[in-house]
């Protein structure tokens, strides 16, 4: 498991406007954490196919169908970065290209106001 990998995750239980259900997530935690077998948590960005999510600004990163194995055009919701237990990752889809991952990285930086 490495940064930029996309998995289907079971995002239950969740509440409010948090993304929920079975959906793709992008691993964004650092590879040195991801490589530690005893490290049970993983930091991810959930994805959505909702048209309304596409209009959320620079923290919503558009990914074309096929990117990292995504079956449909999707939006990486960088403003909903979250930590999951690895057991919630149920199916590997693929890995983003360096360019696609750089766009997600930028979305996370904007969401966390780290883009000074």
Residue 74 counted as domain residue: yes
CATH of the domain at 64: 2.30.30.110
Phi, psi of 94 (to 5 degrees): 165, -165
Residue 87 counted as domain residue: yes
Over residues 6-37, the pLDDT tens digits come to 999 987 765 445 455 789 999 999 999 999 98
Residue 38 counted as domain residue: yes
The pTM of the full predicted model, rounded to 2 decimals, is 0.89
Which residue segment(s) compose the domain that 85 sits in? 5-111
pLDDT of residue 10: 86
Residue 95 counted as domain residue: yes
Residue 52 counted as domain residue: yes
Over residues 74-85, the pLDDT tens digits come to 999 999 999 999
- From CA 111, how far away is CA 33, in angstroms rounded? 21
**Predicted confidence (pLDDT) at residue 102 exceeds the cutoff of 80:** yes
Q: How many domains does the chain have?
A: 1
């Amino acid at each position: 498991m490495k940064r930029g990998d996309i998995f289907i995750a079971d995002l239950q239980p969740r509440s409010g406007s948090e993304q929920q259900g079975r959906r793709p997530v992008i691993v964004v935690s650092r590879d040195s954490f991801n490589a530690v077998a005893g490290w049970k948590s993983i930091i991810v960005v959930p994805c959505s196919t909702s048209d309304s999510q596409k209009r959320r600004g620079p923290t919503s990163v558009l990914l074309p169908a096929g990117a990292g194995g995504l079956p449909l055009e999707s939006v990486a919701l960088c403003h909903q970065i979250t930590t999951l237990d690895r057991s919630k990752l149920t199916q590997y889809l693929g890995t983003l290209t360096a360019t696609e991952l750089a766009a997600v990285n930028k979305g996370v930086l904007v969401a966390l106001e780290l883009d000074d």
